[in-house]
Amino acid sequence: MMDDSLVNVMALHALAYCERLFFLEEVERIRIADAAVYAGRRVHEELPRPADDEGSWDRRTLESETLGLRGVVDVLKRRDGRLVPWEHKRGRSAGRAGAREAWRTDRIQVAAYAMLIEEATADPVAEARVRYHADGVTVPVAVDDALRTEVRATLARARELRSTVERPPVPDNEKLCVRCALAPVCLPEESRAARDPSFRPIRLFPPHQDRKTLHVTESGAKVGRASAELVLRSREGGREDRFPITEVGQVVLHGFAQISTQALRLCADNDVGVSWVTGSGRVLGTLAPPAAAAQRHLRQFRALSDAEMRLALARRLVAAKVESQLRFLLRATRDSPRSPELAGRLESMRAMLRRISRVTAPDELLGVEGNAAAAYFESWPDLLIAGLDPRLRMCGRSRRPPKDQVNALLGYGYGMLYREVLAAVLAVGLHPGVGFYHRPRSAAHTLVLDLMELFRVPLVDMAVVAALNRRTFDPDADFDSVPGQVLLSESGRRKAIEVLERRRADVWRHPAVNYSLSWARMAELECRLLEKEWMGEGNLFARFRLR
């Protein structure tokens, strides 16, 4: 078993580059393999093998309890009786033409290797080499006392950071962040924007999800595995569809769809989440990628034990929700005369919005939100086109169970939203059961219920209203009525998923961070902005508004 008390030499390289990067990778265990990382790995894999008769060897792991270090030396050569470690880098060297230098991070790295080699072989190492493949330059590095002292100081700082749960601040040098693989986790530009309202961040957060969600809606369909692919087999007709695992981000099994143990293992090995949901959209369970999130959980628990912080976050959350509801109603009814009843409900919502900032207790806030929601859903008939089948017009909000077709659509959409927000919370490493607004009263996770409030209107309500007005749903074929409730049929679920996925792909400009991204990325972004609220980098969470 690997000794976690030892510091990896590559971690010293990260620490010399950015303390926050070191903390995210080595303390919180967050790693993202992007294109640059894979390219760097290829450089090492394609290195020519050194000649044995030169007394050289490659890719050897060394450990030292005395130094507290572990590392894998790329290549070690013996020249004129002296050992010379080599490190290979994909990028370019520092300095200028005719006076090339190794970067400080690389000097610390090869010096640490040299110190490991000296202990392992009892031979002194006075010099190392760094090969920069982008400009074809090999730079010598003198392993002198000053560099050894710098290695020891970096090691001491690494141990100090390992003993805390507090992330270091983002670096002052903005250039370090542009090429960092962990920028989508760290969100350094957003932290700078939170400190300085005039700062205009560049987008380092990916605008779209790289991988797709595989929805399995047919009852009895089976998901299996063939090598590195998921294989979806239809219950009827023997149809077979294949999906490379590198293109799948989530698997959602609706109703009585099935998945094999082998397919589950493939998903687990590739950080692909799997969710089981009922025909009404309720999430039964989730297989989530593992996250070493102890530090994130501890920060979250400590922050949300503060009643004042919980109330401040809840006020901001409810204000965002009510304003989204109000703006949606105003947009959807702006081209036709508003009835006195609708005008009265809009004014009631405005009054509730004004009250939020003065609320001093959670129960009072719940009442304000409830009053605004009642006025909002009473206004839904004004959002739908004339001539629509009466069965597709809402007759009041009914949740569990849904009593009409529109409530069945909303319930299903909110179930899909719950699954998506849960996946985002787990990906960020927060604890889904510790929130700041909703009370624990069911199997649902309170933090997920909290964050859902931001997305009910833009991701579900707007998509459902638009689909109804396009006459997407057939009240006979797409719904099943049973005593006391209405549910989506299999064809209705397929249509609802298509409507919601199309909405998730829409790109929208986030006014708080001032860049565009798809709605599919929004839940993760808001989760990360929420985490910043208790890390001294807050002020951007729940700030987005519909236009």
- pLDDT beyond 70 at 1: no
Provide the pLDDT for residue 280.
83
Please give the structure tokens belonging to residue 246. Answer: 């590198």
CB 482 within 8 A of CB 516: no
Could you tell me the domains of the chain? 7-186 (3.90.320.10), 212-271 (3.100.10.20), 294-533 (1.20.120.920)
CB 84 within 8 A of CB 76: yes
Provide the pLDDT for residue 58.
58
Other C-beta atoms lying within 10 Å of the C-beta of residue 324: 22
Tell me, what DSSP letter sits at residue 235? S
- Look at the alpha carbons of 142, 144, 148, 150 in this order and tell me if their dihedral is positive or negative: negative
Quote the CA–CA distance of 76 and 133 in Å, as a whole number: 18
3-state secondary structure of 318: helix
The band of 349, judged by pLDDT with boundaries at 50, 70 and 90, is very high
Which run of H or E residues covers position 86?
strand 82-89
Quote the CA–CA distance of 420 and 544 in Å, as a whole number: 19
| pLDDT tens digits for range 214-254 | 999 888 899 999 999 999 998 876 788 999 999 998 999 99
Please give the structure tokens belonging to residue 482. Answer: 């049973």
Please give the structure tokens belonging to residue 303. Answer: 């922050």
Which pTM does this prediction carry?
A: 0.86
Q: CA-based angle 268:269:275, to the nearest 5?
A: 20
Question: Of 185, 201, 195, which is closest to residue 513 (Cα–Cα)?
Answer: 201
3-state secondary structure of 71: strand
Minimum mean pLDDT among 36-40, 188-192, 502-506, 532-536: which range?
Answer: 36-40
CB 231 within 8 A of CB 214: no
- pLDDT beyond 50 at 34: no
Longest dimension (CA), the chain: 95
Mean of per-residue pLDDT scores for the chain: 88
CB 394 within 8 A of CB 377: yes
- Look at the alpha carbons of 256, 260, 265, 271 in this order and tell me if their dihedral is positive or negative: negative
- pLDDT beyond 70 at 3: no
Distance of CA 284 to the CA centre of its chain: 22
- pLDDT beyond 70 at 380: yes
Average pLDDT score over residue span 47-74 = 71
Tell me, what DSSP letter sits at residue 180? -
